[in-house]
Amino acid sequence: MFRRLALLALICPLCAAYALPLAAQESRGVWCDALGKRLMSVDAAACRKLPFTPGQVRSVEGRPLMLRDVPPVTPNTNAAPVKIRSGASGKRAGRIFLIGGIHGDELTSVSIVFRWMERLNEPEPRRYHWHIVPLANPDGLLAQPARRTNGHGVDLNRNFSTPDWSHDALAYWQKRTGKDPRRFPGKAASSEPETRWLETEIEHFKPDVIVSIHAPYGVLDYDGPLQKPRRFGRLNLNQLGVYPGSLGNFGGVYKNIPVITIELPHATAMPTVREQRQIWDDMLAWIQKNIAP
C-alpha cells in the first residue's frame, strides 16, 4: 500500500495528497483488527471509529505507531475543542501524554488505556489536552507469543537517550541483569524507531506530565519534579529508581517532566472495573492539584 502511494506521489503529487487520508484510515483499520484479535478487551469496530492517526515512523516490523490527540473543550458546552492558550487571561490547558504497551507482553497496559479513553468526555478530563499512544510496541504485543522487547529484541524502556546511556546502559545490562535478553538496551541510545518516535512526540507536544502504564508489579512509581503522588487506587508509591535509558530517567530526570509510572498488578488480567475507575480518579485528582489549569 505504502509503495503504491510513493509511486502515486511521483506521478501525481495532488492525487497522492488526496489518497493519504484513505491510507491512514486503512492503516488504522488493520491496526484495530490486529488489536481486537489479540486483546479481548479491545473491540475492533469501536477502535476503528476513534480518530487514531499513524505517526510518520513505523515499527521495526513495519507496523503503524498510532496516536490519538484529544484537545480540551470549552467548559460546560459540547462545542468543538478549543485550546486554552497562554496569556494575560490564563494559561494553556494542561498537557498529558498517556502511553501504554512499551513492553509488548504487558497486555493490560494497552487494554486499560482503551478503557480510560471511554472517560474522556467526562467534565474533568476534557479540561486537559491529551496525547495518547495506547501501544508503543506493536511488534512485541503482536508477536507469538507476546514479548517484552521490540522487533530488534530491544527493551524500549532502556533505549531512551538519557545522558548516562553511553557510559552506563550496556555495563548495567551486563553486570546487573546478567545480559538478560528481555532487558537488552540496544546498541546505541535511541537506536529504535519506536523510541525515537516517542522522544519526538515528547519534544513536539511538550507535556506537563507523562503517564506510562506497565505491569505486573502492582505499585505506583514516580520520577521528576512536583509533589509525588502517594496512592492511585490500591497502588501505593514505591519508587523503583531510574535506569540508564528508561523513560522515567529520560523524562523525569533529564527533561524535568513529571513521569508517573502505573504498574498494574497483572500483565494479562485486568483490574476490576471499580479499581480501574479509582486509579483513574486518583490520577485526575493529582493532575488537578499539580497541573494547570
Q: What is the pLDDT of residues 49-73, one digit of tens each?
A: 999 999 999 999 999 999 999 999 8
Give the span between the Cα atoms of 27 and 10, in whole angstroms: 21
Residue 176: per-residue pLDDT: 95
Higher pLDDT pick, 163 / 4: 163
What the chain holds in terms of domains, given with CATH numbers, is 1-42 (no CATH), 50-290 (3.40.630.10)
Q: What is the pLDDT of residues 110-132, one digit of tens each?
A: 999 999 999 999 999 999 999 99
Please check the confidence at residue 9 and state whether its pLDDT lies above 80. Answer: no
Q: How confident is the model at residue 24 (pLDDT cuts 50, 70, 90)?
A: low
Please check the confidence at residue 12 and state whether its pLDDT lies above 50. Answer: no
Q: How confident is the model at residue 287 (pLDDT cuts 50, 70, 90)?
A: very high
Please check the confidence at residue 74 and state whether its pLDDT lies above 90. Answer: no
Q: What is the pLDDT of residues 254-276, one digit of tens each?
A: 999 999 999 999 999 999 999 99
Residues in the chain: 293
DSSP β-bridge partners for residue 209: 96
Residue 27: per-residue pLDDT: 84
Residue 76: per-residue pLDDT: 52
Q: To the nearest whole number, what is the mean pLDDT of the chain?
A: 89
DSSP β-bridge partners for residue 263: 214, 219
On whether the CB atoms of residues 190 and 160 are closer than 8 A, the answer is yes
Residue 26: per-residue pLDDT: 72
Q: What is the pLDDT of residues 274-283, one digit of tens each?
A: 999 999 999 9
For 74, 75, 266, 271, the CA distances from 109, given in Å and listed in that order, are 30, 30, 9, 11
Q: What global pTM score does this model have?
A: 0.88
What ranges in the chain are assigned the alpha helix state H? 2-11, 13-38, 44-49, 107-117, 138-141, 170-176, 193-205, 247, 273-290
- Mean pLDDT is lowest, of 77-86, 88-97, 243-252, for 77-86
For 29, 53, 54, 129, 264, the CA distances from 26, given in Å and listed in that order, are 5, 10, 10, 26, 32
Give the span between the Cα atoms of 210 and 204, in whole angstroms: 13
Residue 177: per-residue pLDDT: 96
